[in-house]
Amino acid sequence: MDIYKFAISPLLFNVVKTDPEWLHQQTIRSFNGLSQTPSSWVNQRLQKSLCLYDSRLEQNLFGLNFPNPVGLAAGFDKDGVAAGIWPNLGFGFAELGTVTFHAQPGNPRPRLFRLPLDKAALNRMGFNNLGAAVMAERLKQQSTHLIPIGINLGKSKVTPLEEAAQDYLDSFRLLKDLGDYFVVNVSSPNTPGLRSLQDASMLSAILNLLQQENTSHKPIFVKIAPDLDWVAIADIISLAKTYQLAGIIATNTTISRDGLKTQVIDQTGKLPQEEAGGISGEPLRDRSTEVIRFIWQQTQGEIPIIGVGGIFSPDDAWEKITAGASLIQVYTGWIYEGPLMVRRILAGLLAKLEQNGLNSINEAVGLQTNIPKF
């Protein structure tokens, strides 16, 4: 029996109602300690219990080897304090951040809320982090990573929108030799004006500066919002081609409150519709899959997609992959389902491959779209 899913999480979330941000901080501290002792007995036990290795799950994408397609989404390890622990928890890659050039405290608390009835979270964290320089120093002290490590870059709140490109560039310069891939985050709803940077002209300025600096040809992605219309997404696809991006991450959290079952948020006594922030988890699942499928169809499958949003089960993961995602990321689902979720998803994906007569996960990418693969 999965003790976390059926005993620990119901106790923490529904009975004790532990503050989500406090619990997150304690978890990160524990993971930080474990990452300092990679060969410890505890880490060995974690690997044995939580990891699943199978060559059918491996992929080589944009020059990086991914042992499996399930990654940790940005937002959990904002400062890269636990970068060494993620492979021991079964992940095939991990994304650190969001990190900004200037250290910043984020938005006022409370700013992170569970919505258990919806299997969702509402957050308005506001890119709280210690800054790119601190992350850079920390990563320099760490040993070689066993899985690809991405770094998600955001705009500092104090930086005016018209200076955003330089702000992203300043962070990239500090971190460009320390991450395996990079993500331009212009889609969080929790930094004033940030989503306006998804506009083609503003995003173009950012990508142009980054690629000029990117002499090592590190893979660069852009992470988009699920709330964009099809025309805006098509514009971003065009920019991805123009600036030779490695791919697109679809999607960030949504500002939509449609269909939520939660009536009142316990910490504030307010309706979810009255609280600012982005929704992640199950309510995001279908829309993020729609966006993935649209990008795949519009690009004939030529631009890699990292799919994120509402993944809790092997079926959810398979849906994202067959819609066109080469890789997937989890966060909210992992919080609700617990550490065994990654292994369950990987085992489920292997079963799906066998059921469909496929030899590798790469063969499943885009399988349920109307575009034939060659």
Residue 119 CA to residue 110 CA, distance in Å, equals 19
Evaluate whether 176 touches 216 at the Cβ level (below 8 Å).
yes
**DSSP 3-state assignment of 150?**
strand
- From the candidates 156, 171, 188, 326, which is the catalytic residue? 188
Contact 58, 65 (CB under 8 A): yes
Say if residues 159 and 193 touch (Cβ distance below 8 Å). Answer: no
In this structure, what is the dihedral angle of CA atoms 152, 153, 155, 157, given to the nearest 10 degrees? 60
Which spans in the chain are helix H? 3, 9-10, 20-35, 41-50, 132-140, 164-175, 200-213, 230-242, 285-299, 314-323, 332-337, 341-355
Q: What is the CA radius of gyration of the chain?
A: 19
| Close Cβ partners of 362 (under 8 Å, ≥ 6 residues apart) | 59, 326
Contact yes or no for 320/292 (Cβ under 8 A): yes
Q: Which residues contact 149 (CB under 8 A, 6 or more apart)?
A: 83, 93, 94, 95, 96, 179, 180
Q: Is 280 a catalytic residue?
A: no
- Does residue 294 contact residue 250 with C-beta atoms inside 8 Å? no
3-state secondary structure (DSSP) of residue 32 = helix
Residue 113, sorted as left (phi over 0), alpha (psi -120 to 50) or beta, turns out to be: beta
Closest CA to 168 of 237, 221, 228: 221
In order, the DSSP letters of 45-86 are HHHHHH----GGG-EEETTEEESSSEEEPTTSSTT-TTTTTG
Name the residues annotated as catalytic: 188
